[in-house]
C-alpha cells in the first residue's frame, strides 16, 4: 500500500546522537515521503545558549512551524514545532494534565499543518519514545495506522521516568501497534497490548563497511598513535557505560591506546581518572560519515556497558556498525539481545574476563572471521528493517481496509 510516514520523535534531527527514528526515517524516504517532526523545545530551553535552539528561535518563538527540506534525502522534510510549556517538574494532577493537553495541541496543530501543506492523504503516524506529546493521533486525524515505538526502558531514565512510565503505558494501550527494539522491552510492554512486535536496531551498512573498502588517512586524534587501538564509539553517558571497566581496560593494557569517540555528558570519566591516563584518548562526538575512518584503525572494538536494568533492555546500534566494519568485538553480557551475537563477538561475564579477552580478540582476525562478521551485519541493515516493518504492518493495514469496506457496504 502506498502511504506517507509522519514520524514524531523524542530524538531531534540535528541532535548530537544517532537514533533508530532518524535512521529509519532516512531509509523510509528512499521509497516514500517522510515528515519528521522534532521533539519541541520548551520555553525554558529558549533561555539556553544552544546552536540547535538558535537556528529555530526566530520562527518557533512567534508560534510558527519550521519546515526544512532535507538536502540529501529528497523525500524527507524535517519539522520543528513551536515552543511548549516545561511541565515535567510538576506533580501528577489537574495542572499537569491541563498543560499537557495544551502541549499536545501544539503537536496536533503541527501535524495538521503538515498534512495541509503537503496534501497528505494516506499516512502512518509513528511516535518514537515520546509519550509526553501526542502519543497517538486522535480519531479526527484518521491515520491508517497509529504506531508507538519504544526504544529504551523509560523507567530507568530518571528525568523522563517521572511522568514517562504512566504516559508510555497509556500510549501503548491506545496505539494500533507497538514496536519495541529488544526482547526485554517486549516483555515489559506486552502486558499493555496485544499488538506488539519487535523491530531491532540495525546499521547503515553502506557507511560502516567503508572501513573495509576505502583507504582513509589516520584521523588527527590518532595520527601519531603507534600502539594497538582499543576503540569505542557511542554516547558516553552515566548510566550505560561502566567507567570502572574502562579504567581496568586502560590499566590492564598499558601497551595499547583506548580511544573513546562520542559525547561526554557526565563527570564519571573524571571521577575514575580516565582523563589523567596517558593511554586514553577522548575525541568527542563525530559525524556518522567520519566514523569509518576511525574504525579502520581500531584493532578491537568494545561495548563496555554496565549490567543494569536499563542496559538489559538495549539492543545496541553499535554492534552491527562494528560488525559491518569487520571488527573483532569484546562486550559485556548486558542483555539477551547482545547474547544472540555470541557466535560473532567475544562476550565477557566479568571485568577480569573482559580485560583478558581483548588480546584474544585482537588476534582473532582471520579473513573467514571478518567475512562472517560482515555477513551477519548484512542481515541487520536499515533496508532490512524497512522490509520487516512493511511485513509487520501489512496485516493491520489489510484488516483496516476490510473493515472500511464493510462499513461502506452497511
49 conformational bin, left if phi > 0, alpha if psi -120 to 50, beta if neither? beta
pLDDT tens-digit series, residues 65-116: 889 999 889 999 999 999 999 999 999 999 999 999 999 999 999 999 999 9
Query: Does 161 share its domain with 216?
Result: no
The enclosing H or E element of 177 equals: strand 177-180
Average pLDDT on 262-287 reads 95
Q: Residue holding cell 527494539?
A: 181
pLDDT over 80 at 288, yes or no = yes
> Parallel, antiparallel, or unpaired for β 145-150 and 228-233?
unpaired
Check residue 409 and give its pLDDT: 64
Name the domain count of the chain: 2
Query: Does 27 share its domain with 14?
Result: yes
Q: CA–CA separation, 284 vs 117, rounded Å?
A: 39
Average pLDDT on 354-373 reads 97
Check residue 89 and give its pLDDT: 94
Per-residue pLDDT band at 323 (split at 50, 70, 90) = very high
Query: Does 317 share its domain with 225?
Result: yes
* Structural domain of 102: 4-202+382-409
For residues 159 and 106, the model is more confident at 106
Q: Is 358 exposed, middle or buried (0-12, 13-18, 19+ CB in 10 A)?
A: buried
Between 351-363 and 243-252, two packed helices, what is the crossing angle to 10 degrees? 50
Check residue 159 and give its pLDDT: 86
Q: For residue 130, which of 95, 109, 157 has the smallest C-alpha distance?
A: 157
Query: Does 73 share its domain with 127?
Result: yes
Query: Does 193 share its domain with 232?
Result: no
pTM: 0.91
Note whether 374 and 212 are within 8 A (CB).
yes
Query: Does 360 share its domain with 281?
Result: yes
pLDDT tens-digit series, residues 232-262: 999 999 999 999 999 999 999 999 999 999 9
Query: Does 294 share its domain with 356?
Result: yes
Determine phi and psi for 367, rounding to 5 degrees.
Answer: -60, -40
Per-residue pLDDT band at 49 (split at 50, 70, 90) = low
CA distances to 181, 322, 371, 379 from 374, rounded to whole Å, are 21, 9, 5, 9
CA atoms within 13 A on the CB side of 309: 8
For residue 335, give the C-alpha cell: 542483555
Check residue 367 and give its pLDDT: 96
| In the chain, % of residues over pLDDT 70 | 93
Query: Does 394 share its domain with 273?
Result: no
Query: Does 318 share its domain with 364?
Result: yes
Q: CA–CA separation, 299 vs 301, rounded Å?
A: 7
pLDDT over 60 at 57, yes or no = no
Query: Does 233 share its domain with 316?
Result: yes
For residue 174, give the C-alpha cell: 491506545
CATH number for the domain harbouring residue 8: 3.40.50.11010
CATH number for the domain harbouring residue 373: 3.40.50.2000
Q: CA–CA separation, 176 vs 174, rounded Å?
A: 7
DSSP letter assigned to residue 72:
S
Note whether 88 and 159 are within 8 A (CB).
yes
Query: Does 235 share its domain with 157?
Result: no
pLDDT tens-digit series, residues 66-76: 899 998 899 99
pLDDT over 90 at 47, yes or no = no
Average pLDDT on 124-131 reads 97
Write down how long the chain is: 410
Q: CA–CA separation, 353 vs 346, rounded Å?
A: 10
Query: Does 242 share its domain with 339?
Result: yes
pLDDT over 80 at 199, yes or no = yes
Amino acid at each position: 500500500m502506498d502511504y506517507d510516514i509522519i514520524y514524531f520523535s523524542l530524538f531531534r534531527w540535528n541532535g548530537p546522537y544517532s537514533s533508530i527514528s532518524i535512521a529509519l526515517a532516512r531509509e523510509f524516504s528512499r521509497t516514500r515521503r517522510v515528515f519528521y517532526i522534532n521533539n519541541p523545545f520548551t520555553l525554558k530551553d529558549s533561555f539556553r545558549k544552544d546552536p540547535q535552539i538558535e537556528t529555530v528561535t526566530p520562527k518557533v518563538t512567534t508560534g510558527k512551524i519550521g519546515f526544512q527540506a532535507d538536502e540529501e534525502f529528497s523525500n524527507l522534510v524535517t519539522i520543528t514545532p513551536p515552543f511548549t510549556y516545561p511541565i515535567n517538574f510538576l506533580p501528577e494532577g489537574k495542572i499537569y494534565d491541563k498543560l499537557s493537553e495544551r502541549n499536545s495541541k501544539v503537536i496536533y496543530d503541527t501535524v495538521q499543518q503538515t498534512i495541509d501543506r503537503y496534501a497528505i492523504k494516506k499516512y502512518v503516524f509513528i511516535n518514537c519514545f515520546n509519550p509526553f506529546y501526542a502519543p497517538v493521533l486522535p480519531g479526527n486525524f484518521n491515520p491508517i495506522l497509529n504506531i508507538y515505538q519504544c526504544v529504551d526502558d523509560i523507567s530507568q531514565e530518571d528525568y523522563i521516568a517521572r511522568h514517562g512510565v504512566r504516559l508510555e503505558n497509556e500510549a501503548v494501550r491506545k496505539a494500533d501497534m507497538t514496536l519495541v527494539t529488544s526482547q526485554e522491552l517486549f516483555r515489559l510492554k506486552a502486558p499493555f497490548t496485544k499488538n506488539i512486535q519487535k523491530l531491532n536496531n540495525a546499521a547503515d551498512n553502506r557507511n560502516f563497511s567503508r572501513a573495509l573498502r576505502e583507504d582513509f588517512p589516520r584521523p588527527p586524534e590518532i595520527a601519531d598513535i603507534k600502539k594497538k587501538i582499543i576503540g569505542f564509539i557511542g554516547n558516553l553517558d552515566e548510566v550505560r557505560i561502566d567507567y570502572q571497566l574502562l579504567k581496568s581496560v586502560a590499566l590492564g593494557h598499558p601497551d595499547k591506546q583506548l580511544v573513546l569517540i562520542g559525547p561526554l555528558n557526565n563527570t564519571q570519566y573524571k571521577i575514575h581518572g580516565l582523563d589523567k591516563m596517558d593511554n586514553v584518548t577522548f575525541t568527542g562526538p563525530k559525524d556518522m560519515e567520519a566514523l569509518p575512518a576511525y574504525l579502520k584503525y581500531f584493532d578491537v572494538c568494545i561495548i563496555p556497558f554496565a549490567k543494569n536494568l536499563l542496559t538489559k533492555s538495549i539492543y545496541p546500534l553499535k554492534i552491527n556498525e562494528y560488525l559491518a566494519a569487520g571488527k573483532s568485538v569484546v562486550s559485556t553480557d548486558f542483555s539477551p539481545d547482545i547474547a544472540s551475537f555470541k557466535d560473532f563477538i567475544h562476550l565477557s561475564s566479568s571485568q577480569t574476563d573482559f580485560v583478558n579477552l581483548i588480546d584474544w580478540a585482537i588476534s582473532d582476525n582471520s579473513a573467514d572471521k571478518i567475512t562472517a562478521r560482515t555477513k551477519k551485519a548484512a542481515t541487520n541493515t536499515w533496508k532490512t528493517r524497512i522490509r520487516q516493518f512493511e511485513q509487520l504492518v501489512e496485516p493491520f493495514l489489510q484488516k483496516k481496509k476490510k473493515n472500511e469496506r464493510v462499513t461502506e457496504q452497511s
